[in-house]
Amino acid sequence: MTNQPKGTLIIIGGHEDKEGDRAILTEVARRARQDSGRIVIITVASQEPEELAKDYQKVFGELGVKQVDVLDIRERQEAYDEANIEKILGARVVFFTGGDQLRITSQIGDSDMFKCLRELYYDGGTIVGTSAGAAAMPETMLIGGAGDPSNRVSALSMAPGLAFAHNVVIDSHFAERGRMGRLLGAVVQNPRNLGIGIDEDTAIVLERDDCFWVEGSGAVYIVDGQRISYSSLSEENPEGVVSIDDVTLHVLGKGDQFDLHKRRPIRDGQVE
């Protein structure tokens, strides 16, 4: 395994279209078909794993994926089970469903299964996450906080994530649940991290850990705190609105590209 991943992350803002043009799931299916013809659906985050599994099995079957396996982890010890790990071996696409992102990290984080997933990604496989599965992709994940624009940082909760994506924090259901405030709060706590807000039925396709492009019907919002000149975060009123000066915001639509290393959109093949 090299230091630079060869794989792809497809990070979805939730509620991806399963009945219309299914653009995002079509991209996922394409990758499964061109490799082993097999995709593994991991339902660890969900409280209704059987129902979710049936939905995805149906959709990916219709999209031409020959084999759709389901892997449900209810207890951490199952992430060490050889039969469960065997399901991942040989697959080139793994899909994390929505639910509770803390279930993902607490049940499989640093387990034998996680190590297998990491090897898959670094060896050129594709890891997909929707909703909670999206939030769990970075080193630091958002796990809670009010979704209002007044940005009350005291209500913001974060935890270690799976660390497939670096130097970012990701929020899903973005416009639909009014989450700009909490993404700003996450960025102001550590401006090293870019904040990425992803609308429903929208995804970023991140290849080789440096550039991504946007797929789906909504928008992707990039909050960059690198040039913040002032914030009131460390002052005496942590319960109130946090004042922030000089935040950079980018809004991207389908087909747009972004360079994570240069922290800039890519237009006509050139970074702005």
* 8-254 CATH: 3.40.50.880
According to the model, what pLDDT value does residue 12 have?
98
What phi and psi, each to the nearest 5 degrees, are found at residue 244?
-140, 130
What integer pLDDT is reported at residue 266 of this predicted model? 95
Q: Clarify whether 173 is annotated catalytic.
A: yes
Question: In sequence order, what are the beta bridge partners of 216?
Answer: 202
- Residue-level pLDDT at 1: 47
Per-residue model confidence as pLDDT tens for the chain (272 residues): 457 889 999 999 999 999 999 999 999 999 999 866 799 999 999 999 999 999 999 999 999 999 999 999 999 999 999 999 999 998 999 999 999 999 999 999 999 999 999 999 999 999 999 999 999 999 999 987 655 555 566 567 899 999 999 999 999 999 999 999 889 989 999 999 999 999 999 999 998 778 999 999 999 999 999 999 998 887 766 566 788 999 999 999 999 999 999 999 998 766 55
200 a catalytic residue? yes
* Active-site annotation holder among 16, 27, 78, 200: 200
Catalytic residue among 131, 172, 215, 231: 131
| Domain limits, the chain | 8-254
**147-174: b (≥16 Cβ within 10 Å) or e:** beeebbbeebebeebbbbbeebbbbbbb
pLDDT of amino acid 242: 82
Considering the candidates 172, 173, 215, 231, report the single residue annotated as catalytic. 173
Identify the pLDDT of residue 59: 97
